[in-house]
Structure 1
Amino acid sequence: MTPYQIWEKMTKAKVYSKAVVTTRVNTVYAVGQLGDEECTALIQLIETVYDAA
């Protein structure tokens, strides 16, 4: 399982708060385990999942 797949799954399951998951995704991106497109997709997913009523 890739880091992208792991964080996609964690985001959809709402394991962490929005702030925590955003920070952790950004950290994984900063250390080079996510590409630009993957990071963008995860941030958009976080916005969609956590802003849903």
Structure 2
Amino acid sequence: MSEGPLVLVADDEPLVLEVAVAFLERAGFRVLTARDGVEALALHARLGAELAA
């Protein structure tokens, strides 16, 4: 597992998430995903301080 910055990606299209995650992981990021804005906001509320600015 990478030790890079943690980022959050939200999209309701599974293929878009898959491509974004693959690209970001190859660039050295750790990636959290959310399927919609509500899920993204909940993750941000829980982990916001850990996410890369």
Give 1 or 2 for the bigger CA radius of gyration.
2
TM-score where L is the length of structure 2: 0.40
TM-score where L is the length of structure 1: 0.40
